Structure 1
Amino acid sequence: MPAGSAAVMKRVHLEKLQLCDALERIADTLPKVDILACLAVANAIVPLLRDGHRYEETVIFPAYETALAGGDANLDSARRLSAEHIEDECFAGEVTEMLLAIGHGKTIDNAEAVGFMLRGFFESLRRHIAFEREHVLPMIGFVD
C-alpha cells in the first residue's frame, strides 16, 4: 500500500461528500436554483468521480481483495463496488447534462423529477462511501 493512501482516501471521501451536499442544496431549492451552483457542480461531478474511482480501483480494492483472500470472505463486495463505480459514472453523466441545461437557462418543467434524480444520485454515493468506511477501509488497516 503506497504511503499516504489513507490520507488520499479521506480526501476522496470528503470531496464526494461535499459534492453530495452541494447536490442536496440544489435539490432542496428546486424549482428555484442557483444557476452558478448548477454549473459548478456539473463541471465537477465526472472528473471527481472518475479520479476517485481510478484510485480506489488501482490501490484500495486490490488491497481489500488481498485482505479478503486471507479469510473466508468472498470477493462479491469488491466486484459490486467496482460495478457501482460504472453505474455512478453513467448516472453522473445524466446529472451533469441536466445541471448544465438548468445552468444555461433551461426551464425546470418537473421539479419533483429533478429532485428525485439528484437525491437518487447523491444518496447512492453516500451509501457507497458508508460501506467503504465501515467495511473496506478497516479491512486494509485504515481507521479514522
Structure 2
Amino acid sequence: MNSISTRALQGSHPPRPQCHDGIVAMVELAHVEMLRLCGLLEEVADSLPAGIDRRKCLMIACELEPLVRGIHRFEEETLFPAYRRVLEEQGKGRDSVERLLSEHVQDECFAGELTEALLLLGHDGMVENPEALGFMLRGFFEAKRRHVAFEREHVLPEIRCPGP
C-alpha cells in the first residue's frame, strides 16, 4: 500500500506547513503604520519649498527612526526567521531574506539622515536645497513602499495559514 492510501485509511493528513498568522497580523499593522508615515513624508516633499508645516516636520522627525527601527527589529526577530524556514522547506535560496535585511540597514541609515533634515526644517522653517531634500524624502518613502509591497506579495502569503 502506498503512503497516500495508508494516510487515507488512517484518517491523517499530510503535514501542514508551519503558519504564523499572529506574525502576519502584527506585520500588517506595522505596514499600516509605515505607509502612514510614508504618506506624511510625501506631504512634506510636496510642500517644499514654501508650504512647510514645521510642526509636522518635527513630529515626523521624532517618530521616524524609532518606528523604522522597531518595525525592523520585529521583522528580523519573527518574520524573517519564519520566512527563511519556509524557503528552506521549499528548497529555495535565502536571497530574498538577505536582500530584505540589507534594505533594513540602508533604510535605518537613511532614516537618520532624514530625521536630522526634518529637525532642521522644523526648527528653521526653510531648507537650503529644497530639491535635494525632496529627492531624499521621495527616495526613502518610495523604497519603503516597495519593501512593504514585496512583503505583502511574497513573504506574508508564504507564512500565512492556508485557508480551509
Instruction: Name the TM-score class by shorter chain.
Output: over 0.9
Aligned residues, how many? 143
Match of 2:147? 128
- Counterpart residue identity of residue 86, structure 2: A
The answer on 1:116 being equivalent to 2:139 is no
**Using a 3 Å threshold, how does the CA distance of structure 1 residues 3 and 133 change in structure 2: closer, same or farther?**
closer
CA offset digits 1:70-97 (Å, max 9, x no partner)? 1132101101101110110000000000
- Counterpart residue identity of residue 96, structure 1: T
CA distance in structure 2 between the aligned counterparts of 1:108 and 1:22, rounded to whole angstroms: 18
Match of 1:88 among 107, 112, 134: 107
CA distance in structure 2 between the aligned counterparts of 1:14 and 1:70, rounded to whole angstroms: 29
Runs of 5+ consecutive residues of structure 2 not aligned to the other structure: 1-18
The answer on 1:20 being equivalent to 2:29 is no
Following superposition of structure 1 onto structure 2, how do residues 65-84 of structure 1 map, counting pairs within 5 Å? 65-84=84-103
- Counterpart residue identity of residue 87, structure 1: Q
| TM-score, with length taken from structure 1 | 0.94
Runs of 4+ in 1 over 3 A off after TM superposition: none
- How far the C-alpha of 1:4 sits from its partner, in A, is 2.6
CA distance in structure 2 between the aligned counterparts of 1:16 and 1:82, rounded to whole angstroms: 17
The answer on 1:137 being equivalent to 2:156 is yes
CA offset digits 1:4-61 (Å, max 9, x no partner)? 3222111100000000000000000101210000000011011001110011001000
Higher Cα Rg: structure 1 or 2? 2
Cα RMSD (Å) of the superposition?
Answer: 1.5
Runs of 5+ consecutive residues of structure 1 not aligned to the other structure: none
